[in-house]
Amino acid sequence: MINTAIPCSEPWGMLPGSQPVRLFTLRNAQGMKVAISDLGATLVSWLAPDRAGRLGDVVLGHDTPAEYLASTAYMGAIVGRWANRIAGARFVLDGVEYTLDRNEGPNLLHGGNAGFHRALWDAEEDDGGLVMRLHSEEGEAGFPGNVDVTVRYSLDDEGELSIEYGARSDAPTPINLTNHAYFNLTGEPGTDIRGHVVSIESDRFFEVDAALIPCSESLVAGNAFDFRQSAPIGARLDWPHAQLTIAGGFDHCYVLPGTALEGRPVREVARAYDPTSGRELTVSTDQRGLQFYTGNFLDDEPGRNGSRYARHAGFCLEAGAFPNEINRLERDHLIVRPDKPYRQVTKYRLGVAANA
Ligand code: BGC
């Protein structure tokens, strides 16, 4: 009998320089299997039952570490030091201007040129979960402070995958981490996510400029961005809206309820349901922002088992700070200091919907 509480691990190829990459598996009593690699602390695969009990992979992934290194899709990875964009790849902290990597036009995207998603993390089993650790040197991508990051993945018997983030720095620095999983609950590679029915508990989102930098807050009421009542992604993608044209679909940060900047409770903020399989995903977080991204830039991306991923093959619900929030007036809560570590908790729960 398998002891589901102990993650097992297996070799998963080599990085250039002969560094071995490993794949760890978390299991639960429902037969779910979650595979996580120490390359990028990446959620590589999540096998979950459909309404008939058949296992299917609900996240997009590549077959090899080399494909992860070559890709710009950030599939399933932990993204940092700063997830999403920083406009002009710059910010000012305590009177000093910091210049960051410009890896998307004039802006920084997802941690800059190196990024946590391409790093090899230290991994160890911890009380049934998997703890990943990474050291990021002062000056990496232009950020101040030597930073030590911890990400703990754990899977419970109800199908909830918890991701607990922590980071410490020896000098003040902004930190904003997220997981960049692309979900497709059908479990069928090569399909799109248009049929998924999504709800997001938010009445506001950030409109973006042509470089996808937030420029103003906008209400969702009466337009394509209103997911307070659940709606199929495809129908909403077809709804005329200048913001959907700019981004080629949804690539926008929703403002989650609650005015507290810090110390927020973990609460359910979004759901996605796939009518074909009956699978349902629930997202809970203590963060203020939720980036809803419908895989608009996926373009013949190499997928699992030789499949290819096209536009809208998956969607992401990335919890974190607001994009470019470090350049907003109110941003002290984003600064990690030697006496003030970074914390985040986000949980993805998978099950079969009650009425499926
Ligand atoms: C961003 C997209 C970006 C994608 C990269 C998302 O988090 O919002 O604009 O293209 O990551 O895969």
Domains and CATH numbers, the chain: 8-352 (2.70.98.10)
**Per-residue model confidence (pLDDT) at position 8:** 83
Residue 18 CB neighbour total at 10 angstroms: 6
Hey, CA dihedral for 293, 297, 299, 301, is it positive or negative? Answer: negative
Q: Which atom of ligand 1 is nearest to the CA of 297?
A: 10
Distance 293 CA to ligand 1 centre (A): 7
**Per-residue model confidence (pLDDT) at position 2:** 47
Distance CA 165, CA 182 (A): 19
Distance CA 155, CA 26 (A): 7
Residue 41: name the closest of 246, 203, 179, 199 by CA. Answer: 179
Q: Is 312 a known active-site residue?
A: no
CB 269 within 8 A of CB 290: yes
Q: Hey, which residues does 85 pair with through a beta bridge?
A: 109
**Per-residue model confidence (pLDDT) at position 5:** 54
Q: What is the DSSP string of 293-323?
A: E--TT--SEE-GGG-EE-TTS-BEEEEESPT
Q: Which atom of ligand 1 is nearest to the CA of 72?
A: 12
Instruction: For residue 353, count CB atoms less than 10 angstroms from its CB and return exposed for 0-12, middle for 13-18, buried for 19 or more.
Output: middle
With a 6 Å cutoff on the Cβ, whether 176 touches ligand 1 is: no
Give residues with Cβ within 8 angstroms of 294, minimum separation 6.
193, 233, 237, 249, 250, 251, 312, 315
Q: Is 196 a known active-site residue?
A: no
**Per-residue model confidence (pLDDT) at position 1:** 41
List the structure tokens of 252: 């926008």
**Of 177, 293, 312, which is best to mutate to test ligand 1, by the most ligand atoms within 8 angstroms of its C-beta?**
293
Q: Which residue has the tokens 């009542």?
A: 229
313-343: per-residue pLDDT in tens?
999 999 999 999 999 988 999 999 999 999 9
Query: In tens digits, what is the pLDDT along the chain, a chain of 356 residues?
Result: 444 556 788 999 999 889 999 999 999 999 999 999 999 999 999 999 999 999 999 999 999 999 999 999 999 999 999 999 999 999 999 999 999 999 999 999 999 999 999 999 999 998 889 999 999 999 999 999 999 999 999 999 999 999 999 999 999 999 999 999 999 999 998 899 999 999 999 999 999 999 999 999 999 999 999 999 999 999 999 999 999 999 999 999 999 999 999 999 999 999 999 999 999 999 999 999 999 999 999 999 999 999 999 999 999 999 999 999 999 988 999 999 999 999 999 999 999 998 87
